Amino acid sequence: MSWIPSLDKTPPPGRPTDWVSLSRFRLQAVIGVYPHERLHPQPLDIDLAMQLDTRVAATTLNLAKSIDYAKVARDLRLLIQGARFHLLETAAEAIAAFLLAPSPDRACPESVQVKLYKPSALDGLATPSVAIYRTPRDFEFTAGDLPSEIRIFASADVKISLVDCPPGGFTSSGSQVFVPLCEGDQTAQRALAITRCGDREFLSQPTQAFDFQAPFEKPLTHTVTTQI
């Protein structure tokens, strides 16, 4: 499977020919299975390709008929940094589910391709990556227990839903936290409900994962002391 379809090839019958892409989006996130990866964020690069018909958006200037890639980037940052995935495979699957989930403010892609890279995982020897292709038929989006909750993804280490934000906000409890999907200074209407099951440090200190300002945006530094 080629990563981005070649434009000189005839598309499959009945499928849109358009793609909205986001290439080499880099953020800092806790991702991995080794102890040092659970303690320190590392770079994660993301390539996305979302297939949909963009003709209505092109002629009406209605961005809700296409994909707002700036909002996608903001939302994915919250999703990935909040979930603290153990495997690239899990992260890729959750990203695809999130992008394909029903949304009132954007068009739903016909399919998505997601490719994740961990550039620093092997100390520069090689760059591991995972690439997947998914359509809405690959997921079962079901209603949850909260008002307007849509359960979009579940694995052994994390469960993710989309929920409406109540007027008084949310109260996090136990291992579940809520991350508003804000747009600039506007009041968030929707939020991510993330339940993490895999990290003991999260279960004892559930709110620290969402203190994004310092630890998630600064590059990692290493100090080496040599004794003679």
Residue 44 lies in a domain: yes
Residue 5 lies in a domain: no
Residue 83 lies in a domain: yes
Residue 132 lies in a domain: yes
pLDDT of residue 144: 86
Number of domains in the chain: 1
pLDDT of residue 111: 95
Residue 140 lies in a domain: yes
In tens digits, what is the pLDDT along the chain, a chain of 228 residues?
444 444 444 556 666 579 999 999 999 999 999 888 999 999 999 999 999 999 999 999 998 888 999 999 999 999 999 899 999 999 999 999 999 998 877 788 999 999 999 999 998 899 999 999 999 999 999 998 877 889 999 999 899 999 888 766 666 655 777 888 865 545 568 889 999 886 655 444 433 333 333 333 333 344 444 444
Residue 138 lies in a domain: yes
Please list the active-site residues: 118
Say which CATH number the domain at 184 has. 3.30.1130.10
Residue 10 lies in a domain: no
Residue 151 lies in a domain: yes
Q: Three-class SS string for the chain?
A: CCCCCCCCCCCCCCCCCCEEEEEEEEEEECCCCCHHHHHCCEEEEEEEEEECCCHHHHHHCCHHHCCCHHHHHHHHHHHHHHHCCCCHHHHHHHHHHHHHCCCCCCCCCCEEEEEEECCCCCCCCCCCEEEEEECHHHCCCEECCCCCCEEEEECCCEEEEEEECCCCCCCCECCEEEEECCCCCCCCCEEEEEEECCCHHHHHCCCHHHCCCCCCCCCCCCCCCCCC
For residue 86, the enclosing domain spans 19-210
